């Protein structure tokens, strides 16, 4: 019998199961977009049939990192920018877990930018949600990698001279096999996208536009926005890389000006995940490695038997 | 010239096969019944540049490199023929001969490849040879190798010539070459070996030098192994099946050995984008229920201080390996030093706590690696194995039985689902961080287990794992985490990692740690032979520090010499800090030129500075008197 009986357990799950018994002493301001992410996630998880005990949510630092306090699952609140390496190792050690990493735009695209690029390129089977509110919230309103050019803050008093990062294009060119953008102002679309992202085999990147009413009063609330998968104006095939690239360019050029395009930009369903590739090479065990430590019948090999000839 | 040991130095350019040839030679001597020990010197350069390896062989156990050496095989640097490089590197071609003369003992033997080297390029060569009574054998090794096979096989020709002069039986080498080489290259190599052997035996008076290979016999089977091999095997035997790393000399050796072995054992190895990621992966894998490790050398370990702190606060067991090399910054990539001690002890913010173990020998590298994993998982704390470039690459023979042990996959206080059901919960929430546990260790559950879900965080947290800044909780959690250190101290006292050496009651003491242990033991033997009464304590457990044992040692002698490879006397500083006094008693002998101590340097340092109160000659080693003087 599996040592992890919560994994693969089939039953109806109530979204309230994800609500912590102890109300967090916390921490998100009234009107914060992060509540929208939480709501969508709590709706999406039961929809894919994942119980709180088989879900591991790994977060970074910042307001987004408090998601753990609001979602009652297994959780690891790590350090600034490092949620991805922690999460992808957990997904390797036990590929049967539902592994979700989450962080903010500073956490994911700034300090964790290197990890973002490499996790995307390796196509780890996991979901990455970036709370993108174009600001550093918890450190009190500094300019972030997604803040628009000219954005004024205490750390950029004359306005930012930096071009904002393009998270969707960056994810695509880095090699993510699923790239989507949604917004807290439409929790239904967000829920559907999260369901698809979590069901996707491979690295699913969701840039989640969230509003920060406290520090980013200038930020538009991402309306009007258009769902590119629904809109008749966009005849668009999300499996076509060139199409995805073009649409990303459009929306990332004018995110700060007018219509915001949201939806699933790109999905590559026939590409094997990193786990599958690695297993194919004989570098990942068939059964989750984590299971073995609880299996009393497993025979552990000794180095002495295996390698000693080399040293004789 | 003493004939009880052979110290054979093979010199050439990087990429000329010096390492593999010396490894085979050492293995052949080990199989012949001798005790061997190698010392490797190489530049941070892939092809070309002066490199050498010493193989020391004796009928008695050898614990260290020797003082100088008595047999030089100078092959020439085949990658140093570009005259344009001369401006940068000098005349590299002759370096395998010219650079190695200072340490060659009187009466020693020189074989050099006259196909590549011209001894007349070296000023005073003949005068020095005569003065020192060296026996010089110029041989066209390159020509010989070219005739029989390929030029690159001149190593083999050199080994054949060595055998002829020292009386090593060819079959030892042949047997080993048969085991080590693929058929295609075996034939020509065997021919070259035999031809060189015959040529030298016929053309030269090989009995003239007073150097012969000693005869020895092992009571049980021996294995030739490096410190890095031993750390990797210790990890595997303790159930480690996950490693993440980023290449950096010399840590790469452990990383490579693990990577080559793990897939076959159902394990996972990940080469990742940087060292922050590497250590974070190890933390993530451990959190998800594996035994995991990572590691690096100084510069890479600097990046790991964040995930190290996370492991401490989240109480995630993990083992990190730190293979020290000379610093600061990139320092000297291929040269040993013990100057990362304070870095490893104190890096990361806050009141941090970790286990630091320092193996002194290849055997101890295996033992300490196992202990590091056991402590990490029993006490949910990061353990660091601290060693250095010297121990990582040096090869020595170890009884096979040392490694013939059962694996231990125990995860310590990691619960099964049945056990989770019996643990305290608040409204369905598992108490991951209970305050009231005897040894400070709260049992943990693993993601995917039913009923065990909880939050862990790098923030301070309450028993359920929620972020908390409550002052009472803070005190309770900090105290509980530090309580573990007392439990580990008591645990270690039962199976001490201290190494004591020398007569029981002595006037003086030498205190050391890590890779200098064997060299100090040789020095202790010689000092006692010379009439100085001295013994050694080598400390294998640096955190938690064995205060009582070290204090008893310091108390029991009149004066103590602290031997370490760095310029700032870090180990002496640690000892003083932990003991709280004895500054007036602890003297330092330091070396930081990129080479490890030779036994004679310690003997001289001790006799000159401590016994005679004199001054050390030369800049190689530095004596720093006790603080009270």
B464 at A interface, C-beta within 8 A: yes
3-state SS assignment for residue B297? coil
Q: Point out which residues pair with B58 in neighbouring strands.
A: B5, B35
Which ranges of B288-430 does DSSP label H, i.e. alpha helix? 298-303, 305-314, 341-346, 362-379, 389-393, 417-422
Mean pLDDT of the region A146-156: 92
pLDDT, tens digit, 9 for 90 and up, residues B22-72: 999 999 999 999 999 999 998 887 777 789 999 999 999 999 999 999 999
DSSP code at position A150: T
Q: Which two tokens stand for residue B25?
A: 């030679």
The burial of A130, by beta-carbon neighbours within 10 Å (0-12 exposed, 13-18 middle, 19 or more buried), is given as buried
- List strand residue ranges (DSSP E) for chain A, in order: 55-59, 74-77, 98-104, 126-132, 135-136, 142-143, 178-183, 203-209, 225-227, 260-267
DSSP code at position A111: I
* Nearest CA distance, B180 vs chain A (angstrom): 9
CB A74 to CB B457 under 8 A? no
- Give the residue with greater pLDDT, A37 vs B116: A37
pLDDT surpassing 70 at residue B80: no
* Nearest CA distance, A225 vs chain B (angstrom): 35
CB A76 to CB B427 under 8 A? no
**DSSP H or E run through B538:** strand B534-538
Mean pLDDT of the region B130-136: 96
Which CATH superfamily, name and number, covers A29-287? Thiamin diphosphate (ThDP)-binding fold, Pyr/PP domains (3.40.50.970)
Chain A residues 61-100 within an 8 A CB cutoff of chain B: 61, 66, 68-69, 72-79, 82, 84-90, 92-94, 96-97
User: Which range has the worst mean pLDDT, B169-183, B278-292, B293-307, B314-328?
Assistant: B169-183
Length, in residues, of chain B = 629
d(C-alpha B82, C-alpha B49), whole Å: 12
Q: What are the backbone angles phi and psi of residue A165, rounded to the nearest 5°?
A: -70, 155
* Nearest CA distance, B306 vs chain A (angstrom): 8
Contacts of B285 in chain A (CB under 8 A): 89-90, 92-93
Contacts of A302 in chain B (CB under 8 A): 236-237, 405-407
pLDDT band, residue B166 (cuts 50/70/90): very high
d(C-alpha B22, C-alpha B15), whole Å: 13
For chain A, count helices (H), then strands (E): 11, 10
Q: Which of A93, A285, A311 sits opposite B288 (nearest CB)?
A: A93
pLDDT surpassing 50 at residue B2: no
User: C-alpha angle with apex A64: A63 to A67, nearest 5 degrees?
Assistant: 105
CB A53 to CB B236 under 8 A? no
Mean pLDDT of the region A47-55: 96
Dihedral (Cα; B89, B92, B98, B103), 10-degree rounding: 70
pLDDT of residue B90: 56
Q: How many CB atoms lie within 10 A of CB A276?
A: 16
* Nearest CA distance, B176 vs chain A (angstrom): 10
pLDDT, tens digit, 9 for 90 and up, residues A195-249: 999 999 999 999 999 999 899 876 666 777 899 999 999 988 999 999 999 999 9
B12 at A interface, C-beta within 8 A: no
- pTM of the predicted model, to two decimals? 0.96
Contacts of A300 in chain B (CB under 8 A): 239, 407, 409
Domain coordinates in residue numbering, chain B: 5-203, 224-403, 417-494, 499-624
pLDDT surpassing 50 at residue B292: yes
DSSP letters spanning A26-45: --PPTT-THHHHHHHHHHHH
Contacts of A86 in chain B (CB under 8 A): 280-281, 283-284, 287
pLDDT surpassing 60 at residue B88: no
pLDDT, tens digit, 9 for 90 and up, residues B174-185: 999 999 999 989
pLDDT surpassing 90 at residue B229: yes
pLDDT, tens digit, 9 for 90 and up, residues A121-135: 999 999 999 999 999
Mean pLDDT of the region A51-63: 96
Find the closest chain B residue to A113 by CA distance: B273
pLDDT band, residue B92 (cuts 50/70/90): low
A283 at B interface, C-beta within 8 A: yes
pLDDT band, residue A172 (cuts 50/70/90): very high
Rg (chain A; Cα; Å): 20
Q: How many CB atoms lie within 10 A of CB A59?
A: 29
pLDDT of residue B81: 58
CB B265 to CB A93 under 8 A? no
CB A85 to CB B309 under 8 A? no
Question: Helix, strand, coil: what percent of chain B each, to 5?
Answer: 40, 20, 40
Q: Which of A53, A73, A86 sits opposite B451 (nearest CB)?
A: A53
pLDDT band, residue B14 (cuts 50/70/90): confident
What residue has token string 């001295």?
Answer: B534
User: Which range has the worst mean pLDDT, B382-386, B459-463, B579-583, B625-629?
Assistant: B625-629
Q: Which of B272, B290, B449 sits opposite A6 (nearest CB)?
A: B449
Residue A193 contacts residue A264 (beta carbons within 8 Å): yes
What residue has token string 């080498």?
Answer: B173
pLDDT of residue A179: 98
pLDDT surpassing 70 at residue B150: yes
Mean pLDDT of the region A148-175: 95
d(C-alpha B72, C-alpha B102), whole Å: 12
d(C-alpha A180, C-alpha A228), whole Å: 10
pLDDT band, residue B450 (cuts 50/70/90): very high
pLDDT band, residue B3 (cuts 50/70/90): low
Q: Which two tokens stand for residue B379?
A: 């006490």
Long-range (24+ apart) CB contacts under 8 A made by B599-604 are: B599/B64, B599/B66, B599/B67, B599/B519, B599/B522, B599/B523, B599/B526, B600/B67, B600/B523, B600/B526, B601/B67, B602/B510, B602/B519, B602/B520, B602/B523, B602/B563, B603/B523, B603/B526, B603/B527, B603/B530
Chain A residues 186-205 within an 8 A CB cutoff of chain B: none
d(C-alpha A129, C-alpha A71), whole Å: 14
pLDDT, tens digit, 9 for 90 and up, residues B586-608: 999 999 999 999 999 999 999 99
CATH class of the structural domain B5-203: alpha beta
Q: What are the backbone angles phi and psi of residue B590, rounded to the nearest 5°?
A: -120, 150
Contacts of A7 in chain B (CB under 8 A): 448
Q: Which of B229, B236, B268 sits opposite A284 (nearest CB)?
A: B268
pLDDT band, residue B209 (cuts 50/70/90): confident
Q: What's the farthest any 2 CA atoms get from each other in chain A?
A: 73
pLDDT, tens digit, 9 for 90 and up, residues A245-299: 999 998 998 877 778 899 999 999 999 999 999 999 999 999 999 999 999 999 9
Mean pLDDT of the region B139-155: 90
Contacts of B363 in chain A (CB under 8 A): none
**Who's near B618: CB < 8 A, 6+ residues apart?**
none
What residue has token string 């090869």?
Answer: B395
pLDDT surpassing 70 at residue B629: no
Complex confidence, ipTM: 0.97
CB B287 to CB A76 under 8 A? yes
Find the closest chain A residue to B258 by CA distance: A303
- Nearest residue to B90 via CA among B48, B141, B41: B48
Query: pLDDT exceeding 90 applies to what percent of chain B?
Result: 84
B277 at A interface, C-beta within 8 A: yes
pLDDT of residue B124: 93
B428 at A interface, C-beta within 8 A: yes
* Nearest CA distance, B602 vs chain A (angstrom): 32
Per the prediction, chain A carries an average pLDDT of 93
Architecture of domain B224-403 in this structure:
3-Layer(aba) Sandwich (3.40)
pLDDT band, residue B496 (cuts 50/70/90): confident
Domain coordinates in residue numbering, chain A: 29-287
Mean pLDDT of the region B306-315: 98
User: Which range has the worst mean pLDDT, A23-27, B171-175, B353-357?
Assistant: A23-27
pLDDT of residue B1: 34
3-state secondary structure B563-590: EECCCCCHHHHHHHHHHCCCCCCEEEEE
CB B277 to CB A285 under 8 A? no
CATH class of the structural domain B499-624: alpha beta
DSSP code at position B611: I
């Amino acid at each position: 019998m599996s040592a992890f009986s919560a994994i693969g357990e089939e039953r109806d799950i109530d979204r309230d199961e994800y609500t912590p018994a102890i109300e967090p002493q916390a921490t998100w301001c009234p009107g914060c977009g992060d509540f929208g992410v939480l709501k969508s996630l709590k709706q999406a998880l039961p929809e894919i049939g994942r119980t709180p005990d088989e879900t591991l949510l790994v977060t970074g630092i910042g307001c987004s990192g408090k998601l753990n306090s609001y979602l009652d699952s297994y959780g690891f609140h790590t350090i600034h920018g490092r949620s991805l390496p922690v999460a992808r190792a957990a997904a390797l050690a036990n590929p049967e877990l539902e592994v979700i990493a989450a962080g903010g735009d500073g956490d994911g695209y700034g300090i964790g930018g290197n990890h973002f690029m490499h996790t995307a390129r390796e196509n780890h089977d996991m979901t990455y949600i970036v709370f993108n509110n174009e600001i550093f919230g918890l450190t009190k309103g500094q300019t972030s990698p997604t803040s628009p050019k000219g954005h004024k803050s205490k750390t950029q008093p004359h306005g930012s001279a930096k071009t904002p990062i393009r998270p969707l294009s960056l994810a695509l060119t880095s090699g993510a096999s699923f790239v989507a953008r949604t917004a807290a102002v439409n929790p239904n679309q967000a829920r559907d996208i999260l369901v698809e992202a979590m069901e996707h085999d491979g690295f699913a990147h969701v840039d989640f536009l969230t509003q920060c009413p406290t520090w980013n009063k200038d930020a538009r609330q991402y309306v009007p926005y258009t769902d590119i998968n629904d809109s008749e104006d966009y005849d668009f095939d999300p499996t076509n890389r060139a199409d995805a690239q073009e649409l990303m360019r459009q929306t990332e050029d004018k995110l700060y000006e007018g219509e915001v395009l949201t939806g699933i930009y790109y999905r590559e369903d026939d590409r094997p995940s990193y786990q599958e590739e690695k297993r194919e090479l004989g570098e990942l065990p068939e059964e989750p490695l984590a299971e073995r430590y609880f299996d009393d019948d497993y025979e552990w090999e000794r180095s002495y038997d295996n390698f000693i000839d080399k040293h004789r | 010239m003493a004939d009880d040991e052979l110290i054979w130095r093979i010199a050439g350019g990087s990429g000329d096969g010096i390492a593999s040839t010396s490894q085979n030679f050492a293995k052949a001597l080990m199989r012949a019944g001798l005790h061997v020990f190698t010392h490797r010197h190489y530049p941070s350069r892939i092809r070309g540049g002066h490199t050498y390896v010493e193989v020391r062989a004796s009928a008695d156990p050898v614990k260290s490199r020797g003082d100088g050496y008595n047999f030089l095989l100078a092959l020439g640097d085949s990658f140093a023929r570009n005259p344009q490089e001369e401006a940068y590197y000098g005349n590299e071609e002759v370096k395998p001969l010219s650079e190695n003369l200072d340490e060659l003992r009187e009466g020693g033997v020189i074989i050099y490849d006259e196909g590549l080297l011209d001894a007349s390029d070296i000023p005073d060569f003949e005068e020095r040879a005569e003065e020192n009574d060296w026996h010089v054998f110029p041989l066209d090794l390159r020509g010989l190798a070219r005739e029989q096979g390929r030029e690159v096989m001149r190593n083999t020709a050199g080994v054949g010539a060595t055998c002829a002069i020292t009386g090593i039986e060819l079959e030892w080498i042949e047997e080993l070459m048969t085991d080590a080489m693929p058929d295609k290259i075996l034939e020509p190599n065997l021919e070259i070996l035999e031809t060189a052997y015959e040529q030298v035996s016929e053309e030269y008076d090989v009995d003239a030098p007073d150097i012969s290979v000693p005869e020895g016999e092992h009571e049980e089977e021996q294995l030739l192994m490096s410190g890095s091999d031993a750390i990797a095997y210790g990890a595997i035997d303790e159930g480690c099946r996950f490693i993440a790393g980023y290449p950096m000399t010399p840590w790469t050796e452990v990383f490579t050995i693990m990577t080559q072995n793990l897939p076959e054992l159902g394990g996972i190895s990940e080469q990742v984008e940087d060292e922050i990621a590497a250590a974070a992966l190890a933390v993530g894998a451990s959190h998800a229920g594996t035994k995991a490790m990572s590691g690096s050398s100084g510069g890479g370990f600097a990046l790991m201080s964040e995930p190290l702190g996370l492991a401490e606060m989240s109480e995630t067991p993990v083992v990190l390996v730190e293979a020290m090399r000379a610093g600061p910054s990139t320092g000297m990539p291929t040269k040993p030093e013990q100057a990362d001690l304070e870095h490893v002890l104190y890096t990361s913010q806050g009141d941090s706590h970790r286990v630091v173990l320092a193996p002194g020998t290849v055997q101890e590298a295996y033992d300490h690696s196992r202990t590091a994993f056991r402590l990490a998982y029993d006490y949910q704390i990061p353990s660091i194995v601290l060693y250095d470039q010297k121990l990582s690459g040096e090869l020595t023979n170890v009884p096979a039985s040392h490694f013939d042990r059962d694996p231990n996959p125990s995860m310590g206080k990691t619960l099964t689902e049945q056990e989770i059901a019996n643990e305290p919960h608040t409204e369905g929430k598992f108490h991951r961080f209970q305050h009231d546990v005897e040894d400070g260790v709260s049992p943990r559950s693993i993601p995917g287990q039913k009923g065990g879900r909880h939050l862990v965080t790098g923030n301070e947290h309450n028993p359920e794992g929620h972020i908390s800044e409550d002052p009472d909780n803070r005190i309770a959690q900090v105290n509980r985490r530090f309580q573990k250190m007392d439990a580990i101290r008591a645990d270690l006292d039962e199976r001490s990692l201290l190494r004591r050496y020398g007569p029981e009651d002595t006037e003086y003491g030498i205190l050391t740690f890590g890779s200098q242990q064997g060299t100090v033991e040789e020095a202790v033997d010689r000092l006692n032979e010379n009439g100085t009464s001295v013994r050694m304590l080598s400390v294998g457990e640096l955190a938690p520090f064995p205060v009582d044992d070290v204090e008893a040692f310091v108390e029991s002698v009149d004066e103590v010499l602290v031997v370490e490879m760095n310029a700032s006397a870090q180990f002496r500083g640690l000892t003083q800090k932990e003991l709280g006094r004895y500054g007036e008693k602890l003297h330092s002998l330091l070396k930081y030129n990129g080479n490890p101590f030779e036994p004679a340097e310690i003997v001289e340092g001790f006799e000159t500075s401590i016994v005679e109160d004199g001054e050390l000659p030369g800049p190689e080693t530095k004596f720093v008197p006790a603080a009270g003087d």
